Structure 1
Amino acid sequence: MIPKVFSPMLDSMLAISHNPAWLVLVVIVSTFMLEDLAIIGAAMLAASGRMQPELAFVATCCGMFIGDSALYLMGRGALIWPWLTRKFQHDMIQRQVAPLQQAPWHQLALIRCMPGLRTFGYIACGLARVPGLTFTVANVSSIIAWAAGLFGVAYWLGSQYAEQMHEWLWWLLPIALVIFIVGQRKLRQNIASTA
């Protein structure tokens, strides 16, 4: 069991505000950092009754769309501003430009499914001059499909095991974060070594 001091800390952190707008903002901003964990976290908030499931899902999708669009726009901006172009000379970005020019829909679906490629991939979309409408439609479709699957599973598990998960949450979150970060690094290393 976790020390009793952690349970009240979790409750007080989540009760900073009773206004759902605060939790929506937290969910949106968290997607900019660790998208998949943000989806799972939003589902857990919904499963615990702190947010309406629909609101949590929409906030997650909005955050993902805002973050992806910002990366795309930075890539487009690099076509105009040379100082920004120099920032995006990373091999992971440059390797994705040609495939995105040839088959943007297919590549965008792959980028969504490969968490280690998202940041580089959406910047590469802008550099590859993927049309804005194509990017938006493909991105929204992939966001809804990816988030619905992950959110649905996390929400179902959270609803089934809410009481047990609440007790172990302070241990599970840091462990999940470390596993996620290590996994991302290994994935990037594997991709870099195979190229």
Structure 2
Amino acid sequence: MTDLLVEFLKEYSYPILFIWSIMEGETGLVMAGILSHTGDMNLWLSILTAGLGGFTGDTIYFFIGRWNRKYVYRKFKNQRRKFALAHLLLKKYGWPIIFIQRYLYGMRTVIPIAIGMTRYPTSKFLLINFLSAMVWAAVTILLAWTFGEHILHLLHWARDYWYIALPFGALIAGGIYYYFHKATQKVEKKILHNPKSPKEG
């Protein structure tokens, strides 16, 4: 799977990275960082492409919330709790929530849609979203570029010893999922039961 993704990025390069970034998958950014490390992609053009993709994705979600509320209510009717949490986070913390929403497990799609459903200024959202997307792309790709050689060694090892890497990787992924799931639940309980200090903007 990894080899296929690498070859795919090598062949189609920046358009694939742009589309992958719209879906906000860090895997594509890591691969772009590695390919930049090997000289198959340009580092700064990769960051720009990924940043624009991330910006485009969240902007689409924002305008879905702003222009098609009926669709949102119908499509996300089972996630009303998350939408309520997103609105409370925006009221409580303001614009920093827009900036960090890419790092909030389970809320990356919900938050821009929920903000679109409010009267939050479009121009302000677009500016913060753009800066957030560029930072997200730069940090992820630069880390992969910096540690490219180590990541490549790890990938080669995982390919040769997949029978060891597979359960080990599953254990790590499960631990990360459990940690962020519990952290998100704690935040939900805290905010939903104590929605104080409102401050939109």
> Could you state the TM-score of these two structures normalised by the residue count of structure 1?
0.73
Match of 2:139, as an amino acid?
A: G
- 1:35 counterpart = 2:25: yes
With over 3 angstroms needed to count, the CA separation of the structure-2 counterparts of 1:123 and 1:136, relative to structure 1, is: same
Q: Identity over aligned residues, as a percent?
A: 23
Change (3 A) 1:15 1:117: closer
**Gaps (5+ residues) in structure 1?**
1-5
- Match for 1:167 among 136, 140, 156? 156
Query: Partner of 1:46 in structure 2?
Result: 36
AA at the equivalent of 2:87? V
CA drift at 1:39: 2.2
Q: What is the TM-score with the length of structure 2 in the denominator?
A: 0.71
2:146 paired with 1:135: no
Superposed CA offset, 1:24-67 (max 9, x none): 12212222445333322221121122211122212211211111
**How far has the Cα of 1:193 moved from its partner?**
4.9
Contact 2:101 2:107 in 1 (8 A): yes
Query: Quick one: distance in 2 between partners of 1:73 and 1:152?
Result: 30
Instruction: State the partner residue of 2:75.
Output: 87
User: Alpha-carbon deviation of 1:104?
Assistant: 3.6
Cα separation, partners in 2 of 1:17 and 1:130, compared to 1, 3 Å: closer
- CA drift of 1:113 comes to 3.6
1:63 corresponds, among 32, 35, 53, to: 53
Residue 101 of structure 1 and its aligned partner are, at CA, apart by: 5.0
Q: Is the 8 A contact 1:111 1:118 kept in 2?
A: yes
Q: Distance in 1 between matches of 2:118 and 2:90?
A: 6
**Is the CA contact 2:29–2:137 (under 8 Å) kept in the aligned structure 1?**
yes
**C-alpha contact (below 8 Å) 1:101/1:129 kept by paired residues:** no
- In structure 2, the residue matched to 1:3 is none
Asked if 1:109 corresponds to 2:99, the answer is yes
